[in-house]
Amino acid sequence: MRAVVIERHGGPEVLALRDLPLGPLRPSLVRVRVRAVALNHLDLWVREGWPGLTLEMPHVLGSDVAGVVEEVGSDVTGVKVGAEVVVNPGLSCGRCQACLSGRDPFCREYEILGEQTRGGYAELLDVPPQNLAPKPARLSFEEAACLPLTFLTAWTMLVERAALRAGETVLVHAAGSGVGVAAVQIAKLLGARVIATAGSDEKLRRARELGADETVNYEREDFAKAAKRLTGGAGVDVVFEHVGQKTWKGSLASLVPGGRLVTCGATTGHDAAIDLRFLFFRKLSVLGSTMGSKGALLEVLRHVEAGRLRPVLDRTLPLEKAIEAQALLDRREQFGKVVLVP
């Protein structure tokens, strides 16, 4: 099969289109023909590598896949060839207490497609049947590929970790990113007031189209001061944080006493400091979050099918233009998701 691989860590130049050998399908797995794979910043981080990351090379990136079931392993039941599916990128053992209680991201064997194991920058992908969900009929494959990682992550952050409630105010950073466009929509679905940040007026305009009540261009205005101004000096109840070091101090300063900061990433750096006196005196909560349960993705997809949530597709490129696609993310030129088509 054709696949875009890395054979070493580094810059965009390490991405290469290769023909990979395709072995027999394991009895416990399902083979999916990839019709679309969406990019995430995770792809860039894995490509660059970090201390402690050990991968079997060549490695295939890509966490967000939509496609068609091509072959079903002999031990698999309930999955039909030809079914149109979305792939949940979270892999877990399915046997431990965490998995059996619906908390599979806490599984000690938890992995993410394209990160610790081969992903979807390829024509075919073998996955466990429990990682398949029906593709919403109203969506194209390209649109469906925009959903899994970012919408599942944003849902878990806001619904389960931060417990965002109707009437509260949430500050959503980088509202033009994949996880940002999901967060704006989910927060509005929950009945919250949304203050969205972005680095261009065009991205802010599109964030308002998604439901943002107020917007802040962080290139022209201090977002923490803006958050206070827009809340009458009180601050926001929840900060949706994934930018990291660049926004960390301001994010904490934006919160009301007793507010919650929930984070899933560190795009601008991980070495963020906290003044513990500020933390305990203002009774703040800092919450970490990674991905979400398989059940949560099914709930997200029900809202998508009903039209209450929608993917945001920026553009589609052929698989062989993976370098160009990653460059768009690196330069933050997209609004929503960039998708590759094998």
pLDDT in tens, 69-126: 999 999 999 999 999 999 999 999 999 999 999 999 999 999 999 999 999 999 999 9
Mean pLDDT computed over 247-262: 96
Tens digit of each residue's pLDDT (9 = 90 or more) over 271-309: 888 889 999 999 999 999 999 999 999 999 999 999 999
Burial of 125 (0-12, 13-18, 19+ CB in 10 A): buried
Q: C-alpha distances in angstroms, 25 versus 34, 52, 115?
A: 15, 30, 21
d(CA 181, CA 210): 7
Tens digit of each residue's pLDDT (9 = 90 or more) over 132-148: 999 999 999 999 999 99
What's the predicted TM-score (pTM) here?
0.94
pLDDT of residue 321 exceeding 90, the answer is: yes
Tens digit of each residue's pLDDT (9 = 90 or more) over 144-154: 999 999 999 99
Radius of gyration of the CA atoms of the chain, in A? 20
Domain boundaries, the chain: 2-147+311-341, 151-288
Strands 90-91 and 169-172: unpaired
* Cβ atoms of residues 38 and 71 within 8 Å: no
Place of tokens 């509005």: 188
Cβ atoms within 10 Å of 58's Cβ, excluding its own: 15
Under CATH, which number does the domain 2-147+311-341 receive?
3.90.180.10
* Cβ atoms of residues 227 and 247 within 8 Å: no
Tell me what percent of the residues of the chain surpass a pLDDT of 90. 94
* Cβ atoms of residues 213 and 193 within 8 Å: yes
* Cβ atoms of residues 341 and 319 within 8 Å: yes
The lowest-confidence range among 59-63, 254-258, 263-267 is: 263-267
Mean pLDDT computed over 13-32: 96
Topology of the domain comprising 151-288: Rossmann fold (3.40.50)
Strands 313-318 and 337-341: parallel
